[in-house]
Structures are given as structure tokens and as C-alpha cells.
Chains A and B, each alone.
Chain A
Amino acid sequence: MMLKKLNATLAMGGATALALSLAAPAYAQDQVELTWLVDNGPSTVDIAEALVAAYEEKNPNVSIELEIRPGGGEGDNIVKTRLATGEMTDIFVYNSGSLLQAIAPQQTLMPLTDQPFMDNVQEAFQSVVSTDGEVFGVPYGAAQGGGILYNSAIYEELGLEVPQTWDAFMENNSAIDEAGYIPVIQTFRESWTSQIFVLADFYNVLQAEPDFAERYTNNEAKYATSEAAQKGFERLAAIHEAGYTNEDFNALGYQEGLEMLANKEGAHYPMITFAIPSLETNYPDQVDDIGFFALPGDDADSNGLTTWMPAGVYVPQTTSNPEVAMDFLGFIASVEGCEAMIDAVGANGPYLIEGCGLPDDVVPAVRDMLPYFEEGRVEPALEFLSPIKGPALEQITVEVGSGFRDPASAAELYDQDVRKQAQQLGLEGW
């Protein structure tokens, strides 16, 4: 059904493309139609609609039609298949970092390296959409942090302080448990939510082993043999062993997790900050009680945040009108475009566009995140520093977090999974 719909749209897109190539040169006067594939996340669509509206107002001769695709693995398949068959839309949104490498950007995407608007895009983002010296995308939305969303009303009631170390975090959990709240919300029905303790611990891994990412890519560092890297799995297991999770952790999903956090049933929800807009929309009265802190490590002095770069907007080589597509990307990377995004979904993190600041009235969870960026206590997640991310991590972390696999064997299993990915990418030394 979905595919049929897509195909129909595709056929129309193809027809438009044909019509356009016949009337290409004077695009400034002629009506130009572009198609743009975005995933179905609520804020993704909101951002896309806002950008299109703002751009079309400025350029009345251009109309951009959105195509919505599912997210997750299914969306991945659609993007890969359409790129491989040359039937991609004129512009599309896709992950930055290691997943981008899997769609072979040099062979499928138009490089943006020489475009003047790339000067507006902060270096931190450019580095995660580059291969072999060419840059391919502009940032789509704000940078995010991985850590713990917490209910500050519970913290206030129990007189707790934001933990700087893992031990302090566990002490807080113990106090919260005694007070009758759920210390840590887990929602394994949507298995991706189980990965946060491992993925968001990467800042702490880098504090212990600064060259981990490079050695990991070169088949030298392993989760099973690195004490620092294995800690993520150990901590996930420790939370389960201590009985700090909700009882129905295996049956709940992401939205239910947010609901428990907002309704003060649970105190901590390990999550990436992209959940904040959803909290703002669904729980406007409670969102002021939601705060955020980075996943604590061993040492209070080296406390910092693992960050996720936003997705990118890319132009495939098969685009029907590269000039207009590039112009649109330039708009996304401008202060004007950035403000359109903030208007649409609010400011839930730094936007990585030069000159685009955040308004003063951001929600507490975002305010909690900003100092990490301002003080430079941030490192990108491993998936942005290394092209290798094992696809089975979420199943493995579900097993660890449910108590039926021990951390050491999980780390070993994950190393095997990673090997597959590295071999598939044809990396040296695997």
C-alpha cells in the first residue's frame, strides 16, 4: 500500500523531471517543482513544512512537494533502494555519521564542498557528513545530547542533587526507589530505546581512552577488551539487577516512557534529547518539571555530554534541478532557514548554523544541555567518529537490560556484530 503510493508519486516526479529538463535554463521565471523525501517523525515533518513554506514564500516560482517515509530500518531500506535504482527524490533527509557512509555518498550524492553557503555550517557538523574531503549535507534540526531526562519535581521533593558520578546516580536511585517512585524507566518494546546506556556513555569512554574511536575503526580496540567501553553494558545490567526499572519494562514503548516521566511516575528516563519537542507538545503543563543531565561516569571532574549530530539534507546526483535544489539547501543553512525551524519546533538544542542563537525562553531540559556545549564538555557519539556501528546492538542491549545476558558476553557478541559491518564496508585490517 505504502509502496504503491510511493510509486505513484515517483512516477509523477519522473514526469515532472522530464518536463523540467526540457525547460531547464530559465528556472527563475518558470514554475519549478521539486520533491523532498523526509521521514515521518512528527518534528521532522513540522520542520520540513516550515522550511518549504518559508522558501516558497521567498521564491513563488518554486513549489516543493513532501514525500513522507517511515523511520527506522524500514525507512533505511526505502532510501537505499531508491538511491540504488536512481529513483530518489530531488532532495532528501537522511542520517549523518556512520549511516551516511552506508549509502556511498561519493557515488550517489552531489558534493557541496564548493558551495558558498557551507561557510555558515559549523565545522562540528561538516565533519560528520564528509567523506574523502567532500562535504555532502547541511544540518536538519538541532544537535542533541544523550543522557538522562529526569523529573525535577521528584528531585525537589526528595532533596536530591543532579549526580556527577555513577555512584551518586545509584544513590539517588536508591532514595527514589524508597520513596515509591520508579527510579529508571525502560521501554524495551521499542528496542532502540535500550541502547542509551551504552551509546551515551561514549564521552566517558573517550575520557579513559582518547583514541578509542580510531583504534576501534582499525580493528584494534574492542568492547570486550576495553574496560571503559564495557562499562556501558555493565551499568545497564546494574540497573536491572538492582531492580530499579519499572516492572513492565519489556512491554512499554517510547511514548509510554515519556508519559511516565511527565506524570511523575518515574524519575529517570535514559534518552536522547530529541524527545524534548514531543514532551513539549504532549505534556505542556509538565515540561517545566523535566530536566536533563549527561550520563554520569566515574569521575565528577570529567563529566560531560555525548552528542548526536542532526540528520542532514542531501541532494542525490539524479536530482532533476540541481541549481534550485542547491539554492534550497543554502536557505536551510541560513539564519533565515534556522529561524523558520525554531519557529516550527522550538529550540531544543544548538542548530550548528553560524549566527543562529537560541531564544531565552527554552524549556529547562534544553537549558540544562547548553552549558555542556558552551563549556566544551561535549564529544560526538561513536557512530559519528567511526563508520562502524553494529546493527544488532539494540537486541543485545535488550538482553542485557532484561538480565538474560551478562555484560561480558554481550560485549563479545557486539564485537562480532561490529566485525560484520566493518567487513561489509570493506575497511582495512578486518
Chain B
Amino acid sequence: MAVATAGAVNAPKKSRVKDRQASMYPIWLLYPAAAIYGILFLLPTITSLYYSLTRWTLFNSEFIGFDNFIQFFQEPFLYQALINTVIFAFVTSGLKVVLGLALAVLLTSPLIARDFLRSVVFFPVLVSTVGVGITFTILMHPTEGVINETLAMIGIDGPGWLVDRNLALYSVALVDVWRGVGLATVIYIAGIVSIPADYYEASRIDGATRWQQFRHITLPLVRPAMFTVIILSFIGGLRLFDLIWTMTKGGPGFSSDVMASVVYKQYQSGFYGLSTAGNVVLFVLIAVLAVPLNMFLNRKVVTR
């Protein structure tokens, strides 16, 4: 899923028309794929737009106009979730971008057991999110969790990571960074490795320091990778559900609710129309934030 998004985001767009004319394959070869995409993706998206305007039980639906959306923005805890979602996306993608780059630079330098360390960094990506969530819920237990017991040993009274309403969202964000930074690192490594060694060689002869090399060669040339990481982790942060649900269920109270958990709860309570409206809001939110971001970032890519 994530990888597919990356491909779509970075696909070159300029010469598409020309390619099609020059193509030696008949255009109808596209139809099967288009049919699958249409039936499984476009059609549900369009019907969900309709159902978001209805009050919908399992068996019939009644058209109620924009009432669902009005309801959505009137309820204090639904609105709170919208803000939490944006905070969460910014915090997690920001940390992944910075930490991922640092790790990637470290793991591309000559290092003992470098391949092993790369696997270690990537490993959390392979673990089931639900497993990660449950494990960290236990580690973050306020009195019996390993984290706070360790802190207690050095005399620090650890906070209630997941039970303090001001902290719960950020605790989950930290875990999400731990889980997702490996993927960011791998993308960065690919970007760094593809930078020709000549640049570094030439700059070394000119007497550049390691920092100058990083600042003026690595950083500008790794930008395409960085933008992929930003977009991927930002969208991933906006639509995160599984980690929140396994760790806090949006609690305590409503304090760590995000859009996806609210939508799920509304669906679970049988408010299908309202939860579909929530999905449409989430869809619009992602589009409104991610599309301009993508356009902005693409414009800044340095051509070599």
C-alpha cells in the first residue's frame, strides 16, 4: 500500500501523452486493470460520497443532506480528533524525516557490522503493528512497565505515558516513529548510495570537512528521497489507526482520538452514514494537506 503510493507520487508526468502515441501495445491492454481499479476503488469512493449524505442502517438509507457533516463538526470530541490527527501527522513525519536521515548517514558510512545494523533498524517495520502496540502498552504501564521501572532506578518518577491525557497522543507518536523510522532510513540509504562518489572525492581534494560534505552534497542530492519520506510518513500519520486503537483506543476519554479511530467508533456504534461522512472528511483532509505539499516538494527537487 505504502509503496504503491510512493510510486504514484513520484511518477514523472510530463511526457505521458507522447509515450502513449509511441507505444507499440494496444491501449485496450489497460482495460482489465482499469476495470479492477474502477470497481474496487473509484466506485466505492463515489458511493461513499452519496452515503455520507444519508442516515444509513444496514438495510436502508434515508437522504438527510449535510446533517452528518454538521453533526461531525458540532461534536466537541469529533472536532478534537481532527486537530489530534494533524498534530500526530506533523510530529511523526517530522521525527521520521530527521531521525531517518541521521540513521541513513550513519549506516552508509564505513561501519563494523553495517549490514547487520541496517537490518536491526529495519526490523520494526516487519513486525505486526498490533504486536508493536500491545508490547509498548505493556512497556509503558505507569507503575509496572519496564520504561518507568528503569526511570525509577535512576530516580526519575516516570509519567503515565498512555494514561495521562496530555501525553497519550505523543506516546503513541513516539512508538509510531520507532516502528516507521526503518522504512524512512531505507529510502534515505537508497538516495545516498545513488549519489556519485566523485562529488565526495572532488570535495575532499578541495579540503571540505565531513560537515561541509553533508551540508552541500548529501543534503541537496538526497532531496528526492527526503520528499518521498515526507509524503509517505505524512499521509501515513494522517490515516493511522491500528497503533492508536491497540494502545489507547482513543482514550483516556477522547484525548488521543484521531480521525480514523473516530470513524471506526462511529461505524461500530452503527452510525454508518456519520462514519462515512467522517471518511469523506478524512479523504478531503489528506487531499487538502498532501496534494499541495506534494506539488510544493516536487517543484523543489534539484535536477542533477
Measured between alpha carbons, how far is A404 from B164 in the docked complex, in Å? Answer: 11
With contacts A77-B268, A189-B163, A251-B143 taken as known, whether A104 is within 8 angstroms of B57 at the C-beta atoms is yes
Measured between alpha carbons, how far is A77 from B58 in the docked complex, in Å? Answer: 11
Measured between alpha carbons, how far is A191 from B250 in the docked complex, in Å? Answer: 11
B236 interface hit (Cβ, 8 Å): no
B270 interface hit (Cβ, 8 Å): yes
> Within the complex, what minimum Cβ distance (angstroms) separates A170 from chain B?
25
Contact A83 B58 (CB under 8 A): yes
Contact A250 B160 (CB under 8 A): yes
- Which residues in chain A, 366-395, are within 8 Å of chain B measured between CB atoms? 391-392, 395
Task: List A contacts of B141 (CB < 8 A).
Answer: 251
Task: List B contacts of A421 (CB < 8 A).
Answer: 269, 271
Contact A391 B269 (CB under 8 A): yes
With contacts A420-B71, A421-B269 taken as known, whether A399 is within 8 angstroms of B58 at the C-beta atoms is no
Contact A395 B77 (CB under 8 A): yes
Q: Which residue of chain B has its CB nearest to the CB of A107?
A: B59
Measured between alpha carbons, how far is A426 from B61 in the docked complex, in Å? Answer: 11
Contact A398 B252 (CB under 8 A): yes
Contact A392 B77 (CB under 8 A): yes
> Within the complex, what minimum Cβ distance (angstroms) separates A14 from chain B?
20
A336 interface hit (Cβ, 8 Å): no
Task: List B contacts of A424 (CB < 8 A).
Answer: 55, 57, 270-271, 273-274
B251 interface hit (Cβ, 8 Å): yes
Measured between alpha carbons, how far is A102 from B271 in the docked complex, in Å? Answer: 10
> Within the complex, what minimum Cβ distance (angstroms) separates B170 from chain A?
16
What's the interface size class on B, roughly?
Answer: 20 to 34
Q: Which residue of chain A has its CB nearest to the CB of B249?
A: A191
Partner of B253, one of A103, A391, A396: A396
Measured between alpha carbons, how far is A396 from B143 in the docked complex, in Å? Answer: 25
Task: List A contacts of B253 (CB < 8 A).
Answer: 395-396, 398-399, 402, 404-405
Q: Mark A61-97, 1 if CB is under 8 A from B, else 0.
A: 0000000000001101100100110000000000000
Task: List A contacts of B74 (CB < 8 A).
Answer: 416
With contacts A251-B141, A416-B75, A424-B270 taken as known, whether A395 is within 8 angstroms of B251 at the C-beta atoms is yes
B62 interface hit (Cβ, 8 Å): yes
Partner of A250, one of B55, B252, B270: B252
Q: Which residue of chain A has its CB nearest to the CB of B143?
A: A248
Measured between alpha carbons, how far is A116 from B270 in the docked complex, in Å? Answer: 34
A423 interface hit (Cβ, 8 Å): yes
- Which residues in chain A, 155-185, are within 8 Å of chain B measured between CB atoms? none
- Which residues in chain B, 235-259, are within 8 Å of chain A measured between CB atoms? 249-254
Q: Which residue of chain B has its CB nearest to the CB of A409?
A: B76
Task: List B contacts of A399 (CB < 8 A).
Answer: 252-254
> Within the complex, what minimum Cβ distance (angstroms) separates A363 from chain B?
30
A203 interface hit (Cβ, 8 Å): no
Contact B59 A104 (CB under 8 A): yes
A50 interface hit (Cβ, 8 Å): no
Measured between alpha carbons, how far is A23 from B59 in the docked complex, in Å? Answer: 32
> Within the complex, what minimum Cβ distance (angstroms) separates A311 from chain B?
18
B118 interface hit (Cβ, 8 Å): no
> Within the complex, what minimum Cβ distance (angstroms) separates A75 from chain B?
10
Q: Which residue of chain B has its CB nearest to the CB of A250?
A: B163
* Residue with the greatest number of chain B CB neighbours at <10 A, chosen from A391, A395, A421: A395
Task: List A contacts of B249 (CB < 8 A).
Answer: 191
Q: Which residue of chain B has its CB nearest to the CB of A72?
A: B268
A202 interface hit (Cβ, 8 Å): no
Task: List A contacts of B251 (CB < 8 A).
Answer: 188, 191, 395, 398
A413 interface hit (Cβ, 8 Å): yes
With contacts A191-B251, A251-B143, A391-B265 taken as known, whether A426 is within 8 angstroms of B62 at the C-beta atoms is yes
- Which residues in chain B, 36-65, are within 8 Å of chain A measured between CB atoms? 55, 57-59, 62
Measured between alpha carbons, how far is A189 from B71 in the docked complex, in Å? Answer: 28
With contacts A395-B77, A404-B253, A405-B253 taken as known, whether A80 is within 8 angstroms of B58 at the C-beta atoms is yes
Task: List A contacts of B223 (CB < 8 A).
Answer: none
Measured between alpha carbons, how far is A420 from B250 in the docked complex, in Å? Answer: 20
Contact B58 A251 (CB under 8 A): no
Partner of A188, one of B59, B252, B269, B274: B252
Q: Which residue of chain B has its CB nearest to the CB of A416?
A: B75
Task: List A contacts of B75 (CB < 8 A).
Answer: 416-417
Task: List B contacts of A420 (CB < 8 A).
Answer: 71, 269, 271, 274
Q: Mark A237-250, 1 if CB is under 8 A from B, else 0.
A: 00000000000101
Q: Which residue of chain A has its CB nearest to the CB of B64?
A: A423
Partner of B254, one of A102, A395, A423, A426: A395
Q: Which residue of chain A has its CB nearest to the CB of B267?
A: A77
Measured between alpha carbons, how far is A73 from B160 in the docked complex, in Å? Answer: 26
B133 interface hit (Cβ, 8 Å): no
Q: Which residue of chain A has its CB nearest to the CB of B128?
A: A1
Contact B59 A423 (CB under 8 A): no
Measured between alpha carbons, how far is A402 from B253 in the docked complex, in Å? Answer: 9
* New contact pairs (11) apart from A104-B59, A395-B253, A395-B254, CB-CB < 8 Å: A77-B267, A84-B58, A188-B251, A250-B142, A250-B163, A251-B141, A251-B143, A413-B76, A416-B74, A424-B271, A426-B57
Nearest 8 CB-CB pairs, A to B?
A: A391-B269, A250-B163, A399-B253, A73-B268, A84-B58, A251-B142, A251-B163, A398-B253
Which residues of A come within 8 Å of B, CB atoms? 73-74, 76-77, 80, 83-84, 102-104, 107, 188-189, 191, 248, 250-251, 391-392, 395-396, 398-399, 402, 404-405, 413, 416-417, 420-421, 423-424, 426
Of the A-B pairs whose beta carbons lie under 8 Å apart in the complex, a sample of 24, sorted by A's number, is A73-B265, A74-B268, A77-B268, A83-B58, A102-B270, A103-B58, A188-B252, A248-B143, A250-B163, A250-B164, A391-B265, A392-B269, A395-B253, A395-B254, A396-B253, A398-B252, A399-B254, A405-B253, A416-B74, A420-B269, A424-B57, A424-B271, A424-B274, A426-B55
